Structure 1
């Protein structure tokens, strides 16, 4: 156990405090740490990128199991503390940077095989996940802590799909590993969390010619998620409702359905019909 009182003491001794603006909630439960590390299936052959290492509580476990750990911390004071606290083991590099402004290739020093393990700050969860999903090279595996509501949205099935779910499931198979109560953190957040494991796919789950164009269509569909699909698509794509109805019919999709009900396969089918119509 790494109780919250120890987290408080470490912050106080370092003259630091959790910064709400950076979504800092420090994990203070050893059993949760072990769940994260075990889910990542680490070995000495692995390189790990950790996002937002904070006080280094998870980092200390990662360096014991992985061959190399690159910890990327935006907070300059925390990055400095991390270097001092862990005494810079030879398999750890601490980078003071914004993860969204650094490509994985800049962090990896030659290797293309890596994993991402992180207790993600809530406010950058979605952009960080997309950052790695769309990166080159992509990680082989991601194990991250996220807000419970976000985690449940990520693993949603048709009927409760979202733009986030489509964008992540297109590149990976996500599943919730464990639920983590708010009291496992200091300061305690207002919501519970979940640990999500993403197994990255070697090829996208949808077979389309242009993933950017595919996501243009998906974004258009979710632009007004409470509206029926033919209305949101017509508005966002600048097409007549009758034209959209024909597209949906061609993809065998009821025009009265909402975007949240479509599967990845249906989005891919609709994209192909849309592309064919644009060429005619």
Structure 2
């Protein structure tokens, strides 16, 4: 079977892994579950790119989210010290425990990642202390919640190498002028960069949109020294609540403040009232929060 790269066609490099994936599904009488966003990676070149981007070492502990048919899991296990693969689908988890049984450094966990603290997955205290890496082909529908779950975790990863929708990746790495709430939320905790674009034809079944491989290098401490992070992000969320409006109007509406009070806050933070939320830098959000929190607490 020879695949093509055009929209609606599988990638040329997908042949072997496509056949392997379809064979596994037939063998266990399974169908990909659309509700769980199951799109299995079938391109060997992309697999190689993921492994290279993760910069694996024999001592690395990897948390893989949504291992699916275990194709990426196998590759990870060959270069990392331990792979903890967390799979929500009970059927797939049971199959993975069988098919990956020969890989002694792989642990399959049948849980909802969003309801599981990373620290509970890292059973060895040494692993939690030395850090871990997240590597995943993420279901699109849980991308933002998963990123938030790990970025805000008490025990954070060193890096995250994740496959996400291309449009989402572009939002995450956006510069001032194109920033959104998700951009600020990720860049607060680490430095994101797009490793490569990944066409829809590299997955089975084929999604409707293209993807991108994203790497986030987490900072030892967040980019801004903010004691009340919930309060800070409430402010940012209010700023983006009506992103087409000027920041003064968005904040007044989102925070329930008088326009005159907001104008005073912006002046103290040296931010022009005509600006829009998407143009603010992370440092400017930090200045605005300092002024706002002083007024709130005073």
Structure 1 residue 88, shift from structure 2 partner: 4.6
Other-structure match for 1:187 = 205
Other-structure match for 2:169 = 151
Q: What is the TM-score of this pair, normalised by structure 1? A: 0.98
Counterpart check, 1:198 vs 2:216 = yes
- Residue ranges of structure 1 left out of the alignment (5+ in a row): none
SS of residue paired to 2:135: strand
Question: Which stretch shifts more, 113-122 or 253-262?
Answer: 253-262
* Aligned counterpart for 1:168 among listed residues 186, 192, 203: 186
Query: Could you list the per-position Cα deviations for residues 33-86 of structure 1 after superposition, in whole angstroms to 9, with x for gaps in the alignment?
Result: 010011101111110000000000100001101101000000001111111112
Q: Aligned partners of 1:161, 1:16: CA distance in 2, in Å? A: 41
Counterpart check, 1:80 vs 2:94 = yes
Question: Which stretch shifts more, 214-223 or 166-175?
Answer: 214-223
Counterpart check, 1:272 vs 2:272 = no
Other-structure match for 1:56 = 70
Q: What is the TM-score of this pair, normalised by structure 2? A: 0.92
Q: Aligned partners of 1:278, 1:121: CA distance in 2, in Å? A: 39
Counterpart check, 1:94 vs 2:108 = yes
SS of residue paired to 2:67: coil
Please give the residue correspondences for 1:33-44 in structure 2 after superposition, counting only pairs within 5 Å: 33-44=47-58
- Residue ranges of structure 2 left out of the alignment (5+ in a row): 1-12
Other-structure match for 1:208 = 226
Could you tell me whether the CA contact under 8 Å between 2:100 and 2:106 is conserved in 1?
Answer: no
* Aligned counterpart for 1:229 among listed residues 247, 253, 261: 247
Q: Aligned partners of 2:235, 2:170: CA distance in 1, in Å? A: 23
SS of residue paired to 1:3: helix
Structure 1 residue 231, shift from structure 2 partner: 1.1
* Aligned counterpart for 1:7 among listed residues 18, 21, 31: 21
Other-structure match for 1:68 = 82
How many residues are paired up? 280
Structure 1 residue 256, shift from structure 2 partner: 1.5
Structure 1 residue 227, shift from structure 2 partner: 1.6
Q: Which runs of 4+ in 1 moved over 3 A?
A: none
Structure 1 residue 6, shift from structure 2 partner: 2.5
Root-mean-square deviation (CA, aligned residues, Å) is 1.0
SS of residue paired to 2:196: strand
Q: Aligned partners of 2:222, 2:234: CA distance in 1, in Å? A: 16
Question: Which stretch shifts more, 248-257 or 69-78?
Answer: 248-257
Please give the residue correspondences for 1:88-127 in structure 2 after superposition, counting only pairs within 5 Å: 88-109=102-123, 110=125, 111-112=127-128, 113-127=131-145
Structure 1 residue 3, shift from structure 2 partner: 3.3
